Chain A
Amino acid sequence: MTARRAPLGLVAGARSGDKGGNANLGVWTRTDEAYQWLAAYLTVERLRELLPEARPLEVERYELPNLRALNFVLVGLLGEGVAASTRMDAQAKGLGEYLRAKHVDIPESLL
């Protein structure tokens, strides 16, 4: 299978937000083929490689094949919540678009 280096966002949508001090990062695809690849590719370890901000954190990962989606919870990314957070993006609104901008090896057949 040949792969091409391209932004993850070409094959995946994302939506992110805050729950207290945790950030949630949902990633979804539009075809079963793309989901099969994403579910195999985007492990917690891979997410930590892509997002250095997640490396020191506990990361929960959930599969929702019925929605062709993965959901990650980045525990403690936002510290003590939006009001106390010192992050530029205190509510993790842009976290999903940040992940989509990361370049990864995507199978040609999905592009």
Chain B
Amino acid sequence: MAQPLRIANCSGFYGDRLAAAQEMVDGGPIDVLTGDWLAELTMLILAKNQMRDPASGYARTFVTQMEHVMGTCLDRGIKVVSNAGGLSPAGCAAAVQEVADKLGLNPSIAYVEGDDLMPRLDDLRAAGVGFENFDTGEPLGEHQVITANAYIGGWGMAEALAAGADIVITGRSTDAALVVGPAAWRHGWARDDWDRLAGAVVAGHVIECGAQATGGNYSFFQEVPGLEHPGFPIAEVAEDGSSIITKHDSHGGLVSVGTVTAQLLYEIAGPEYLNPDVTARFDTIALAEEAPNRVRVTGVRGQPPPSTLKVSMNYLGGHRATVTLMLTGLDIDEKAALAERALWASTPGGRESFADTHVQLIRSDQDDPATNEVAVAQLRITVKDPDERKVGRAFSSKVTELALANYPGFFGGPGGTQSYGVYWPALVPRDLVWQEVVVGGNRTVVES
């Protein structure tokens, strides 16, 4: 039987530890270096970057990490599989090629496209895809969509690796697919090896969020040694789909049944965990501590995935401003009510003039306070509107004008104004989405 494939994670989000790629490559033996750079919010941020600079749209930190480790990865035959391509896998691949040229290296760089539905949105809608909100059932309507990406699985990555790629860059693949793809390639799995694929999905889900599997963000953090600098996780995925979650011995942190359990519960819903390649039954996972910092994952059952893929969409929602007023000492409720009354009274049209408002009084103040800080409550007022001018200076200046003219002890004030996006999850029929794998100028179409 083939050796387990040692897949290391080096990123849980865009902005995660820059040194992690180097640490995972230098820390011990691995076969694949992977990571997740994309969150719902990240797609929106990348879209805003791309509006300013059309050549952007991908996670630049990944390119920097490639500068750190590309030479070593090529020397040791470590494959790199990343979704840092974001909205521009081709652009990211070109940037990585530039790094290779600069370093005098010659890796085979592949990228996978097909997740980006923006260019096809009108056609898909015309073909009857409604993009109704997956959670609420609401119709998409006339919202100004700025990103629309289908979550794709691991078969495009597997195809790229089979074609000899050293570095594979995708767009919106699922986080777990970054483990499914390499494992399916190495072990030669079939598309209907449901249990094996489901095992890889579980391993992928555990390591996709970086140090959250090794003691980061962990309820029992006092039990974790070396949490000043925890190592990133590794999944050793066996041919049968079972895996061992571990970390490099020299790294800080902890891999225990507890840390793995906690991460399994992150951002899930019911026992059926849907992925494009397989539906993994989380109620079949068995965890056991095989040795210190080695947790075995077995028993995972898989089912055929649904006939639809999830689509991550964002549209421009409008503009908003948040004001935080600090209220100290006695009569907090009355002070808050006075501030609110005065603010709405000074706004032309009053509170109703905004598309949406939100007021929250945070009672962090304590009775008979021991220090100044614990005497303070916060009144947070947020206004939203499509019209930037209404929530901009016109609003903030009215807040500032209250400073000497309102409740006793007034301090705090307006924060900045920002545009905001609205996340819109939807579905698309699987057979309307395909992956396009580009290796060395050759383009291959892979079914989703």
Question: What is the interface of chain A, defined by CB distance below 8 A to chain B?
Answer: 9, 12-15, 17-22, 24, 26-28, 30, 60, 62, 64-69, 71, 73, 75-76, 80-84, 86, 88, 93, 96-97, 100
Q: Measured between alpha carbons, how far is A75 from B135 in the docked complex, in Å? A: 8
User: What are 12 A-B pairs with beta-carbon distances under 8 A?
Assistant: A12-B219, A13-B262, A15-B262, A24-B265, A24-B269, A60-B270, A62-B269, A65-B283, A80-B422, A84-B320, A86-B360, A100-B219
Looking at the complex, which of B180-188, B284-292, B439-447 is the stretch in contact with chain A? B284-292
Per a CB cutoff under 8 Å, which of A15, A75, A82 touches B40? Answer: A82
Complex interface: chain A residues within 8 A of B241 (CB): none
In the complex, chain B residues 43-86 whose Cβ is within 8 Å of any chain A Cβ: 44
B286 surroundings in chain A (CB, below 8 A): 66
Closest to A30 in B: B258
Query: With A and B bound together, what is the CA distance between A46 and B252 in angstroms?
Result: 38
Number of contacting residues on B, CB 8 A?
45
- What are the residues of chain A within 8 A of B265 when measuring CB–CB? 15, 24, 26-28, 64, 67, 69, 71
Is the beta-carbon distance between B261 and A68 smaller than 8 angstroms? yes
B19 on the A face (CB < 8 A)? no
Complex: how many Å from CA A42 to CA B134? 28
Chain B residue contacts of A20, Cβ below 8 A: 40, 134-135, 423-425
Residues of B within 8 A of A82 (CB): 40-41, 423
B288 to chain A, nearest CB (A): 11
Q: Which residues in chain B, 257-273, are within 8 Å of chain A measured between CB atoms?
A: 258, 261-271
Q: Are B314 and A83 in contact (CB under 8 A)?
A: yes
The chain B residue with its CB closest to the CB of A68 is B261
Distance between A111 CB and nearest chain B CB, rounded to angstroms = 15
**B380 neighbours in A (Cβ, 8 Å):** 86, 88
In the complex, B218 has a CB within 8 A of chain A: yes
